[in-house]
Amino acid sequence: MNKDNLSMNMNSFVGWFIAAVVLVGGLIFWSNWEKVPAGYVGVKVHLLGSDKGVDTEELGTGRYYIGMNDELYTFPTFSQNQIWTLSKNEGSPNDDSLTFQSVEGLEINTDIGITYNVKADHATKIFQKYRKGIDEITSLYLRNMVRDALVTTASTMSIADIYGAKKADLMANTIASVRDQTKDIGINIEKIYWIGKMRLPTSVETAINDKVNASQKTVQRENEVAQAKAEANKVIEAARGEAQSKLLIAQAEAQAITIKGKALNDSPKIIELNAVEKWNGTLPVYTMGTSTPFINLGEIK
């Protein structure tokens, strides 16, 4: 091989090498651009060097160059919902349900859901505090806050109250506690809620249900007694009304007889006058010694 051919081969090799380096460098360069999607804010972290640490400015929607010395964390600013359940078909495949105790020391297990959002201008503050992404913050720190709040409040309540009338109070106190812990770091708790019913020891649940059923039956009997009394009072009032009506009628009739009797006593001729007015002029077949019954013709002139 002559020198000219060797020189040509070397030049060709160098050209291809340079092209390859440029291509690889370009691919590496473009692969280091990462995206902050719409509805998210980004936090850029420098791992090494004099500027090691968290950028103080949140990154809005767009693409950013993230070098080998950098990492990008994204935080959603829209509402997030997370559920912690016993079921493997909801949430994670693990048992994420929460357990706490009543004042009697009885264990209660339950499924809980949480809805929250991240304030866009607090993303760097959140990362500086927890040094985690939003999924890890939710599954670890927020879950612990909810569990601790439940444990603290439930430990002062009876099992009957937790399972019954004050269940809503327990949740309200839990929400207030978690909100108080997260408001200053930029996580806004929208709601925390029960999923399904609480899981109690079988004997305890049976005893509570029996007590509830007994109370319901007592209320039902009280209602039936009240209804029976109302019906009886209704009958009594009807009878009283009927008796009053009869009394008034009797009083009216007695008063009428008295008035009539007085009138007859004052004017005895009225009887004979009434008989004359009602007589049709026909004499009876049989008489008792008078020609005209009930009428004294000698006096009526």
Question: Among residues 108, 200, 191, which one has the least CA distance to residue 146?
Answer: 191
Q: Which of 10-14, 22-26, 264-268 has the highest mean pLDDT?
A: 264-268
Q: How far apart are CA 73 and CA 54, in angstroms?
A: 10
Q: What is the pTM of this model?
A: 0.60
Q: Which of the pair, 213 or 180, is modelled with greater confidence?
A: 180
pLDDT of amino acid 88: 85
- pLDDT at residue 106 greater than cutoff 60: yes
Question: Among residues 138, 228, 125, which one has the least CA distance to residue 186?
Answer: 125
DSSP conformation letters of 106-138: -EEEEEEEEEEEE-GGGHHHHHHHH-S-HHHII
Q: How far apart are CA 86 and CA 174, in angstroms?
A: 20
Alpha helices of the chain — where are they, by DSSP H? 3-31, 123-130, 134-136, 143-154, 159-163, 167-182, 202-266, 269-278
Give the mean pLDDT of 241-262: 76
Q: Which of 69-78, 125-134, 224-233, 268-277 is the least confident region?
A: 268-277
Strand ranges of the sheet holding 53-54, from the earlier edge strand across to the other edge: 53-54, 40-46, 70-76
pLDDT of amino acid 68: 75
- pLDDT at residue 219 greater than cutoff 80: no
Which residue ranges make up each domain of the chain?
1-30, 32-76, 80-200, 267-301
- pLDDT at residue 156 greater than cutoff 50: yes
- pLDDT at residue 179 greater than cutoff 80: yes
- pLDDT at residue 100 greater than cutoff 90: yes
Which tokens sit at 196? 């399904």
Q: Rounded to whole angstroms, what are the CA distances from 175 to 88, 99, 171?
A: 25, 17, 6
pLDDT of amino acid 30: 47
Give the mean pLDDT of 72-94: 90
Angle value at C-alpha 300, between 294 and 301, nearest 5 degrees: 155
Look at strands 33-36 and 62-65 and give their pairing: antiparallel
Question: Looking up tokens 């994670």, which residue turns up?
Answer: 92
With pLDDT > 90 as the criterion, what percentage of the chain qualifies? Answer: 33
CATH class (in words) of the domain with range 80-200: alpha beta
Give the mean pLDDT of 229-241: 78
Q: Which of 27-41, 132-146, 270-284 is the least confident region?
A: 270-284
CB atoms < 10 A from the CB of 161, how many? 16
Give the mean pLDDT of 38-67: 78
